[in-house]
Chains A and B, each alone.
Chain A
Amino acid sequence: MSSQPPGKGFDLIVVGTGFSSSFFLYSYLKKAKKNERILVLERGKYDSLDWQLENKSSASLDFSKLFINRNRDKGWYFAPGYGGGSKIWWGCTPRMLPNDFKLKSRYGVGKDWPISYDDIEEYYCRAEEIMAVSGPDNTALFPRSRPYPQPPHLLSDPDKILQEAYPDRYFPQPCARAREGTKNRNICCAAGVCDICPVDAKFTILNELDYIYRDPRITLSLQSEVKNLNVNGDSAVSVEYMKNGVSEKARGELFILGANSIFNPFILLKSGLDHPMLGKNLNEQVSKNARVELDGVDNLQGSTSITGHGYMLYDGDHRSDYAACLIESYNVPHINGLRAEKGKWRQRMYLKFIFEDIPSPQNYVKISDENPELPETVYIDFSDYTRRSVEKLPERLNELLKPLPVEDIIISDIINITDGHIMGTAVMGDDPETSVVDRYLKHHRIRNLLVLGSGSYPTCAPANPALTLSALALWAVDHL
């Protein structure tokens, strides 16, 4: 085993190069000393956009071989390698709503977060600035202290009908798919393959934050798989990792885990930092799709891949009984599908319904018994709270879509296998007995260790998690 020579430890060691690590570093570097030594360990390679397009794959490392999942009905999807989830996300950046942070006290279900919407509003704004988010003007549902950096995308004609019917609850989706070009990104042209954007229009770590990894204070080590942290008393002292088949060790003062919500708890478990909640509450939203056949209204005129965002089924007293649901309206001909009937080719909406779930400890990440070098996901089911909402969808949808000239509504029987969001496995809270990290994402016991990412989420709002976890990384830096 090779080690850092004595006296050559790092001030900061960061694991991962996805959203949370990169947003953390973005803010941290502004405050760090000029001679600070930072080591960033990334398990995968640098897979450029050209490589991704050529191979029609977001990562050269096969994510499915990195963990064991015995539940064929429930997938977990992520992109290993430099840039992490930013390579495959669709750039959807809704904020969570104020009530999402207080589900227990407001509706009597789930848990409250230890922080409020107001606590992180400023950090939402900063994250949106970094991503150059395009968004609507009417945001009473999620009050803003400043406008979105970019103007909203254009809605399609059926979207406009719904916006007129629900002016405060249906509007252009806030997103990091550029409405206006930036120095590093082109304008979105609704190609509809946002997992690997062919025109480089969505925000990624590769196009907008790559420069931070060239900072002379940072040593970026690719293909470095972190195995565990070494702890002495209540402090982390070093990290062990494999690089080119050789076991390495690096000493540090401050440690940041910015892998995803399968690998963060796995590293902590391998480090012997057991906690009753560590790895528990593995969850993500539950979603299904519907096609709405229209009579006489063409679709697909919008300026981006997902145009409308509907909050009509999201917040309200019903959340005491069944889950909130967020609606996305797609504007992509090959996803919406074109109709064959003469003149009706574009008269169809394709909607996605995204339901929150109440996390349960029956779903979790553990060290695999079969191969202790791999994490294993155990997922039994989502909650009855969510199932009730899914079951009510047909009835609610008939009512909801009355403003549109609807010929037929075809709701898929299938629950989507995954939404590519992994949450809940290193939960935040004020009580060290019931949570792994505190409100600033610091480990309750190991105070020089932060566990970033959506693993800290106490509940799972319908909103996509990337913006919130990026904002939380910025928030964590300000509370070091």
Chain B
Amino acid sequence: MAEKISRRKFVIITLFSGVSLYVAGWWAFKVRKGDASDIIISIIRKKLGYMKIDKSEVKRFAGDFQKTFSNKQRLIGGWAGMLRPFYSLLDIHKITPFSDKFKNFEEYAVTTFLLSCDFFRNGADLSREVKYTVLYDPYEIGCENPFANY
């Protein structure tokens, strides 16, 4: 006769299965495809939440931005996206083993977005709506540094 499973064991197995399914699903649909757009959108909305930016602008930026990623960046972005449901509430990445790498990733996303939108060209005016213009690529457009005097 089969042994009856305890309630505690059942909860653990269910939780473990759920998390495993979530991680496997995330890997299959996001990490494997190198899709980091979710976390890029979350980063911009969290870090630059004080700016007037339409979500569609951030989405367009995220789509273009992730196309430039190295494999390593795809991996960081892809896996970090898995924690996105909690990201907007707390700095959950601080307690993960890759916190430094993710902090750099955050800075890279914020810097690239700020240089890819019209915010500084419009005098850093927080009352104006911010538009994504074109992905910042100084190799492509030589004199795009918005701050330099020459």
Contacts and interface: CB of A to CB of B under 8 A. Distances in A.
Contact of B114 (A198, A302, A338): A338
Interface string A113-134: 0000000000000000000000
B111 A198 contact: no
Contact of A334 (B47, B138, B140, B150): B138
Contacts of A380: none
16 contacts: A154-B149, A154-B150, A189-B145, A189-B148, A190-B150, A191-B142, A192-B138, A196-B139, A198-B139, A300-B145, A304-B148, A333-B114, A334-B111, A334-B136, A337-B111, A340-B48
Nearest to B146: A333
Contact of A199 (B114, B115, B126, B142): B142
Nearest to B126: A342
B144 interface: yes
A334 B120 CA distance: 14
A346 interface: yes
A16 B115 CA distance: 40
Interface string A178-220: 0000000001111111001011000000000000000000000
A165 B147 CA distance: 24
B143 interface: yes
A338 B115 contact: yes
Contact of A340 (B110, B141, B144): B110
B112 interface: yes
B142 A188 contact: no
Contacts of A66: none
Contact of A191 (B107, B126, B138): B138
Interface of B: 47-48, 50, 106-108, 110-112, 114-115, 120, 124, 126, 136, 138-150
B149 A301 contact: yes
Of A56, A199, A345, chain B has the most CB atoms within 10 Å of the CB of A345
A338 B48 CA distance: 12
A345 B145 contact: no
Given A189-B150, A192-B138, 8 more contacts: A53-B139, A154-B149, A191-B145, A193-B139, A304-B150, A333-B114, A334-B111, A337-B108
Contacts of B47: 340
A15 interface: no
A459 interface: no
A471 to B, nearest CB: 28
B130 to A, nearest CB: 13
Interface of A: 53, 56, 154, 187-193, 196, 198-199, 300-304, 331-334, 337-338, 340, 342, 345-346
A191 B143 CA distance: 6
A333 B150 contact: no
Contacts, number: 75
A337 B144 CA distance: 15
A187 B143 CA distance: 10
A332 B115 CA distance: 11
Contacts of B106: 340
A154 B147 CA distance: 12
Nearest to B144: A191
Contacts of A56: 139
A338 B110 contact: yes
A188 B150 CA distance: 7
Contact of B147 (A187, A188, A199, A333): A333
A199 B47 CA distance: 33
Contacts of A301: 147-149
Nearest to A346: B147
Nearest to A413: B100
A187 B150 contact: yes
A154 B110 CA distance: 27
A193 B145 CA distance: 11
Nearest to B120: A345
Contacts of A191: 138, 142-145
A189 B147 contact: no
Contacts of B111: 333-334, 337-338
Contacts of B112: 334
Contacts of B110: 338, 340
A450 B147 CA distance: 46
